[in-house]
């Protein structure tokens, strides 16, 4: 019996040592620059001197969260706009201006862990981004009673928009639009390493996810993914994400079930030449999960063009206006 007990202890120690080694040694490495993303960053950088000033929301934990408000017209609806990975409110200024031309006012938030909203690349706990969204919604609902509300997000921000739409806060929006959304690394739409945009420490992610499932979250602040963000990128950019930030911005592991849970009118717009995802795979993958989510592929557009190019912005704004007009009055 003592021999069996000793063997069991030895095995347990080996498992713990293996876990510790996986967590310690599996680290993300910064990918090389992507020319298309760098060109998009230069375009976004030129917007920095022509933006509404930052406003700040005090979240429930006392942290100041930065956002920019773009005026619309009374009755035109309110959009809450979410940037993609490593971005900030600056990167979605083109979207907000296009929406304003249709009368839609926009709250463009620096998600916590980005821009002017707390330390870069991390949050305090999973679910904190939902808490922040609830705090922002309280402000929106107080300031704009009766207005229809549309949630819109790009890339990983599109995943977060769908996450919100599928969860308890989804009923507080009337519609959701995602441009070039990240669904899952296992989804048929995803290119390996997001086409070179991201390097994920997969063994570390798997180990930390298992610990999370056991209720152990102490290591959630460790970095698990690095992005191809150039060192001279404009604005405050989070080039590395912690495990808890990445998990909280992403759809749940069962992304199909999450999409199926979206009951509000929803749409996806993606460029046919997207470098991060397989655009032609979205219609089949999304329709199989939720046929109510419309998918539109824009010819000649790459990943960032859906938020930068005039033709794409016009189509995006038209789609938001249609979703707004189809929603019942509040």
User: 151: which strand partners?
Assistant: 80, 176
Do the Cβ atoms of 163 and 251 come closer than 8 Å? yes
Q: Give me the pLDDT at residue 230, please.
A: 79
Assess if residue 89 is contained within a domain: yes
pLDDT band (50, 70, 90) for residue 100:
very high
The answer to the question of residue 215 being in a domain is no
pLDDT class for 39, splitting at 50, 70, 90? Answer: confident
Polymer length of the chain: 330
Identify which has the larger pLDDT, 236 or 318. 318
Q: Which residue segment(s) compose the domain that 258 sits in?
A: 32-198+234-326
Q: Does residue 210 sit within a domain? A: no
| pLDDT band at 12; cut points 50, 70, 90 | very low
Beta-carbon count within 10 A of 1 CB: 5
pTM for this model (two decimals) = 0.92
pLDDT of 34 above 60: yes
Indicate the DSSP class of residue 193. Answer: G
Mean pLDDT throughout 259-268? 96
pLDDT at 266 over 80: yes
In a domain, 211, yes or no: no
Q: CA geometry: angle at 180 spanning 178 and 183, to 5°?
A: 80
CATH number of the domain bearing residue 41: 3.40.50.1820
- Give pLDDT, residue 8: 45
Instruction: Report the DSSP beta bridge partners of residue 79.
Output: 106, 150
For residue 131, tell me if it sits in a domain.
yes
Q: How far is CA 63 from the centre of its chain?
A: 20
Rounded Cα distance between 46 and 90, Å, is 10
pLDDT digits (tens, 9 = 90+) for 239-263: 999 999 999 999 999 999 999 999 9
Q: How many domains does the structure of the chain reveal?
A: 1
At residue 9, does pLDDT exceed 80?
A: no
* Residue 178 phi, psi (nearest 5): -120, 130
Q: What is the DSSP annotation of 94-152? A: HHHHHHHHTT-EEEEE--TTBTTBSSTT--SSTTHHHHHHHHHHHHHHHHSTT--EEEE
Average pLDDT, the chain: 91
In a domain? residue 218: no
pLDDT for 54 beyond 60: yes
Q: Tell me the pLDDT tens digit for each residue of 134-179.
A: 999 999 999 999 999 999 999 999 999 999 999 999 999 999 999 9
Q: Is 146 left (phi over 0), alpha (psi -120 to 50) or beta?
A: left
Closest CA to 157 of 43, 54, 241: 241
User: What would the pLDDT profile of 195-237 be if each residue is shown by its tens digit?
Assistant: 999 999 999 999 999 999 999 999 999 999 999 997 777 678 9
Residue 227 domain-assigned (yes or no): no
Q: How far lies 229's CA from each of 198, 235, 257, in Å?
A: 9, 11, 32
Decide if 208 is inside a domain. Answer: no
Q: Are 136 and 80 in contact (CB under 8 A)?
A: yes
């Amino acid at each position: 019996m003592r021999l069996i007990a000793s063997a069991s202890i030895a095995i347990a120690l080996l498992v713990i040592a293996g876990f510790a080694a996986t967590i310690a040694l599996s680290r993300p490495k910064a990918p090389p620059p992507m020319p298309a993303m760098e060109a998009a960053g230069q375009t976004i950088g030129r917007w920095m001197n022509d933006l509404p000033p930052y406003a700040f929301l005090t979240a429930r934990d006392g942290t100041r969260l930065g956002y920019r408000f773009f005026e619309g017209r009374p009755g035109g609806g309110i959009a809450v706009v979410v940037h993609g990975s490593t971005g900030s409110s600056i990167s979605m200024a083109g979207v907000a201006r296009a929406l304003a031309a249709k009368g839609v006012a926009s709250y463009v938030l620096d998600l916590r862990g980005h821009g002017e909203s707390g330390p870069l690349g991390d949050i305090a706990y999973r679910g904190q981004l939902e808490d922040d969204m609830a705090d922002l919604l309280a402000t929106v609902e107080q300031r704009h009673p009766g207005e229809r509300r549309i949630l819109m997000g790009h890339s990983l921000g599109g995943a977060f928009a769908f996450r919100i739409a599928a969860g308890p806060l989804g009923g507080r929006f009337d519609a959701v639009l995602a441009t070039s959304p990240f669904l899952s690394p296992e989804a048929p739409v995803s290119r390996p390493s997001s086409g070179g945009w991201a390097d994920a420490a997969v063994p570390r992610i798997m180990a930390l996810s298992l610990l999370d499932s056991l209720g152990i979250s102490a290591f959630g602040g460790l970095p698990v993914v690095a992005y191809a963000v150039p060192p001279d990128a404009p604005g405050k950019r989070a080039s590395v994400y912690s495990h808890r930030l990445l998990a909280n911005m992403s759809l749940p592991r069962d992304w199909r079930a999450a999409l199926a849970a979206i009951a509000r009118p929803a749409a996806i717009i993606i460029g046919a030449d997207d470098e991060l995802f397989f655009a032609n795979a979205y219609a089949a993958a999304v329709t199989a999960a939720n046929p109510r989510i419309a998918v539109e592929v824009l010819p000649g557009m790459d990943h960032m063009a859906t938020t930068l190019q005039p033709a794409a912005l016009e189509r995006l704004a038209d789609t938001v206006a249609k979703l707004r007009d189809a929603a019942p009055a509040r």
